[in-house]
Amino acid sequence: MAYVMRKLSSAMAASGGGGGVDPVDFSTELEFSFADEYKGPPVGYVIPNAVPVDIHHIPTAAPVSSGSLLNNSSLPVIQPIAKSNKKPKKESKLVIEAKFGKEIVSSDSVTPAELEISKGEKGVSTLSDKVESSGDLAFSGSLSGSSKGVLELPDDGPEAQGFQNDMSPGDWGSSESGSSSQSLSSEVFSGREEADADEIPHHVKRPSAVTFRDPDSNDIVQEEEYDLSDGEEDVQVRPTVERNGKKGSCYRCGKGNRLTEKEVCIVCGAKYCYNCVLRAMGSMPEGRKCITCISFEIDESRRRKLGKCSRMLKRLLTKSEVELIMKAEISCQANQLPGNLIFVNDEHLSQEELVRLQSCRNPPKKLKPGCYWYDKVSGFWGKEGHRPCQIISPHLNVRGHIRQNASNGDTNILINGREITKLEAFMLKLAGVPCEGNLHYWVSADGSYQEEGMKQVKGKIWDKTTIKLVCNILSLPIPSDSANLSTEEVNTQNTFEEKMLNKIVLVGHHKSGTSTIFKQAKILYNVPFSEDERQSIKLMIQSRLYSYLGILLEGREWFEEESLIEKRKGKGHLLEEPGPSGNTSQLDDKTKYSIGPRLKAFSDWLLKSLVSGNLEAIFPAATREYAPFVEDLWKDPAIQATYDRRNEIQTLPRPAAYFLNRAVEISRTDYEPSDMDILYAEGITSSNSLTSMEFSIPPSAGNSNLDPPYQHDPSLRYQLIRVHQSSLGGNCKLVEMFEDVNMVAFCVSLTDYDEFYTDVNGVSINKMMASKQLFENIVTHRAFDQKNFLLILNKFDLLEEKIDEVPLTRCEWFNDFNPVPSQNPSSSHNNSNNPTLAHRAFQYIAVKFKRLFHSLTDRKLFVSLVTALESDTVDEALRYASEILKLEEEVPRLINEFSSASIEASSSA
């Protein structure tokens, strides 16, 4: 090894000396990894090759020519290794530190090394990390050799890899100038063979580690982020937090050392001391995350810590607060396992498959990112390359097919296509199953087995009681009681459950009212809000209250300024000619919108928080602290005067009035939201992405307007799945998750016709047109081919208010709306002979959508008029949906009956 180092050192020194690059003292500076031949237990895949360096031909940097130095424009730089967009093959994985502490790269990508070492950048890799150099150095060469080896590194994430000493989580993985460490092209070297299924099984994106120079320009271009998740999911780049102080200190105040007790962010790993943790993490709506890390995926290496509270948090917060935070940490959407990190039978799971796996009768225990095999027939489940560890529910619909060598067996005995391990064969022998020669058995979930090609069941593996004991001793799994259901029973049960459950997916453009409809349905059909939901909605209402107050305070500032100007205009002469004291009276600066210094300070701070966008994260926890201010603020005449002019404050959302009226009550810690409060609150949960509820529709109490009238069928159950538009991904590609729904309810806000939003490119877009676009995307998605569509035209109450003021023709799509004037325009009530303008507008919009739908699908669109805040309209829409679904079942039956009746009639004739 010393010889290698000397060789490497002299080679580098030789090249460096000639090219203006200082020689490097490798004996002291270099940290390195060495390939070693793998001698561990057999693994179920091909061990990757690491091509050793031919030490006689150590690649060296070519001297930088003086010409290019003189030119001073750009030094020759070698381009980064080309990134593959394919999922890495299992056979060729090396692991390097990355997003989750490790990253896997294909050994294919360790091509003849094209390495760039550019001055002033921090890198992640080992070989050239810590290589101190005083000049610019371009380094290229080829690695050759034939002996197989596995590169090894300690497996403790960045902290164990020697380059963490003065780097915060914010540092590693980010490129930053000013450091003396050198960087290496991102996909090189710090490899470690993937030893078990605990590892991340595919290439994940991480914050760019290297900055590359575009040879054609003088600009530094950030390395393109790469993602090998089949392009299905939007991969997040985790935020990083810089540490201000020395190593071991708190990331916020920079005080303390390694021994100081700290709480760690489960996303970026930033650590905060007792005094800073609440400020840095706010109300922790997703558990222990810095405010800037909220909604980001957690660092997978910290998953096992989820829900395990630290002593520090227990000291800082009350028991119930801690419980709430820990619950949120475990259950919130952002912290759930990402399906693309779990491979089953060589295919990564879609999010839907993951849900299916986790919610089945017998789910895999302690599921972690990794590679698994699953025998769908028997339910056997194990880590890739290992014997079975559990028997889970059979027949789950996951994509991949089991490989013969999935568990690395070598017995010539196959069970459902998998070659079993010696231990399993031993157990089978004890169970009386013949195990001589090449055998292939089919084993079902209840343990009954038969030979391939034979119809007869030969016996049941688990029948003998002793065999369960043996399995226990051998650490082999035995089926749980519920797994003992026969395949037929399982199938019948699933079909029955699925048949009775009608799934309706509810989706719409932003703020169309989907969550209000969802909540209204919960209240209507007595589906209680869970304690968690109530708590989360309570926190949401409280934080929104502060944002409403903030908006009001902003309005107050405008009004104050406005009346000051008015006042000064009125007393213009006084301003121009100051009094004997030389300045105008202080009293002149007061208006009815002015507030005292204490409230002003609070107001300034609140507005600053509002601007920073952190309000939601900061406030719920701080409710107790600020409640007295809210009370004083609300009672202050200046705020009341502002509130009286709330209609002039356009940014104040409509529900604000509902909540602001009870500001004092709501800001108290013991506030419990009523159903009405929940309904008026914006959103459902803090994650707000996908929510579902099951319900049945009770017999109708009142007179229904439906034609035909609603027929009650108590056996029918419904599942309403409310999806936030943002969860559908770009171009609605995640719509596939809802392939098996029976109906799509598409919600449109009737008031969108004159409203605009600004898209990511800064273009102003009419919301109705955006809704139309989303509708087209969803309707034409192949997952929704032949599905029933119900269009919910919502916010009719607001349309009634708006239509007289703002013509419908404001929207380009509605430019031919030209209603015949109503015979009695003063009448606000609709009747079939004399519909109001709002009703005409509704009918017009419905026809527009129907025509569009027909042109896209050649089918009929059902439409329902709704005011989501009024329960009866939502009830009616959902009953209508249930009628449509029943009709769908009835029609084929009626056609059948009709055709057999006509056949009979024609044959008797």
Ligand X SMILES: Nc1nc2c(ncn2[C@@H]2O[C@H](COP(=O)(O)OP(=O)(O)OP(=O)(O)O)[C@@H](O)[C@H]2O)c(=O)[nH]1
Annotated binding-site ranges for GTP: 794-797, 868
Give one DSSP letter per residue of 549-560, joined into a string: HHHHHHHHHHHH
Least distance (Å) between residue 12 CB and ligand X:
58
For residue 672, which phi and psi values (nearest 5 degrees)?
Answer: -120, 120
Say if residues 621 and 284 touch (Cβ distance below 8 Å): yes
List of long-range contacts for 64-72, beta carbons under 8 Å, 24+ apart: 64/19, 64/20, 64/21, 64/135, 64/136, 64/138, 69/20
335-346: b (≥16 Cβ within 10 Å) or e: bbbbbbbbbbbb
Block residue for tokens 């970026």: 268
CB of 502 or CB of 685, closer to Mg ion: 685
Per CB under 5 A, does 683 bind Mg ion? yes
Q: Which entry of Mg ion, ligand X, none binds 766, CB below 5 to 8 A by partner kind?
A: none
Least distance (Å) between residue 752 CB and ligand X:
11
Least distance (Å) between residue 352 CB and ligand X:
20
Least distance (Å) between residue 512 CB and Mg ion:
9
CA 558/CA 645 separation, integer angstroms: 11
CB of 558 or CB of 658, closer to ligand X: 658
Give the sign of the dihedral formed by CA 603, CA 609, CA 612, CA 614: negative
Per CB under 5 A, does 686 bind Mg ion? no
Per CB under 5 A, does 819 bind Mg ion? no
282 burial level (CB within 10 Å; 0-12, 13-18, 19+): buried
* Interacting residues with Mg ion between 499 and 528 (CB under 5 A): 515
CB of 99 or CB of 724, closer to ligand X: 724
Say if residues 182 and 128 touch (Cβ distance below 8 Å): yes
Give one DSSP letter per residue of 50-63, joined into a string: -PPP-GGG---PPP
CA 528/CA 522 separation, integer angstroms: 7
Q: Cis ω on the peptide bond leading into residue 708 (within 30° of 0)?
A: yes
Nearest partner of 45 among 161, 199, 232, 190, judged by Cα: 199
Least distance (Å) between residue 216 CB and ligand X:
43
Spell out the alpha helix ranges (H) of 59-212: 66-71
Q: Which entry of ligand X, Mg ion, none binds 448, CB below 5 to 8 A by partner kind?
A: none
Residue nearest to Mg ion (CB): 515
Q: Which entry of ligand X, Mg ion, none binds 510, CB below 5 to 8 A by partner kind?
A: ligand X
Angle, helices 615-635 vs 531-570, to 10°: value is: 60
Least distance (Å) between residue 367 CB and Mg ion:
30
Least distance (Å) between residue 706 CB and ligand X:
20
CB of 328 or CB of 507, closer to Mg ion: 507
As given in the structure block, the two tokens for residue 391 are 């028997």
CB of 685 or CB of 788, closer to Mg ion: 685
Local structure of 357: helix, strand or coil? helix
Spell out the alpha helix ranges (H) of 30-117: 66-71
Distances (CA, A) of 520 to 449, 488, 526, 695: 52, 39, 10, 12
Question: Helix %, strand %, coil % for the chain, to 5?
Answer: 40, 15, 50
36-48: b (≥16 Cβ within 10 Å) or e: eebeeeebbbebb
Local structure of 707: helix, strand or coil? coil
As given in the structure block, the two tokens for residue 737 are 């998750």
CB of 245 or CB of 683, closer to Mg ion: 683
Least distance (Å) between residue 165 CB and ligand X:
45
Least distance (Å) between residue 691 CB and Mg ion:
10
Least distance (Å) between residue 788 CB and ligand X:
21
CB of 60 or CB of 515, closer to Mg ion: 515
CB of 61 or CB of 728, closer to ligand X: 728
Least distance (Å) between residue 514 CB and Mg ion:
7
Q: Which entry of ligand X, Mg ion, none binds 795, CB below 5 to 8 A by partner kind?
A: ligand X
Q: Which entry of ligand X, Mg ion, none binds 868, CB below 5 to 8 A by partner kind?
A: ligand X
Say if residues 495 and 735 touch (Cβ distance below 8 Å): no
Q: Which entry of Mg ion, ligand X, none binds 400, CB below 5 to 8 A by partner kind?
A: none
> Per the annotation, where are the binding residues for Mg(2+)?
515, 687
CB of 757 or CB of 814, closer to ligand X: 757
User: Which residues are 382's β-sheet partners?
Assistant: 373, 388
Least distance (Å) between residue 238 CB and Mg ion:
26
Q: Please, which residues have CB within 8 angstroms of residue 654's CB and are 6 or more apart in sequence?
A: 798
Q: Please, which residues have CB within 8 angstroms of residue 187's CB and are 6 or more apart in sequence?
A: 81, 83, 96, 105, 109, 110
Nearest partner of 355 among 756, 692, 812, 708, judged by Cα: 692
> Per the annotation, where are the binding residues?
515, 687, 794-797, 868
CB of 109 or CB of 514, closer to ligand X: 514
CA 449/CA 189 separation, integer angstroms: 48
Taking residue 86's Cβ as centre, other Cβ atoms within 10 Å add up to 11
Where does this chain bind ligand X (CB under 6 A)?
508, 510-516, 653-655, 680, 682-683, 688, 724-725, 794-795, 797-798, 867-869
CA 816/CA 831 separation, integer angstroms: 24
Least distance (Å) between residue 838 CB and ligand X:
13
Say if residues 621 and 278 touch (Cβ distance below 8 Å): yes
CB of 797 or CB of 888, closer to ligand X: 797
CA 599/CA 495 separation, integer angstroms: 63
- Identify the H or E element spanning 428: helix 422-430
Least distance (Å) between residue 684 CB and ligand X:
7
Q: Please, which residues have CB within 8 angstroms of residue 792's CB and are 6 or more apart in sequence?
A: 506, 508, 513, 517, 745, 746, 747, 748, 863, 864, 866, 877
CB of 363 or CB of 683, closer to Mg ion: 683
Span interacting with Mg ion, options 401-409, 616-624, 677-685, 727-735, rule CB under 5 A: 677-685
CB of 298 or CB of 679, closer to Mg ion: 679
Say if residues 268 and 206 touch (Cβ distance below 8 Å): no
CB of 364 or CB of 508, closer to Mg ion: 508
Residues interacting with Mg ion, by CB under 5 A?
Answer: 515, 683
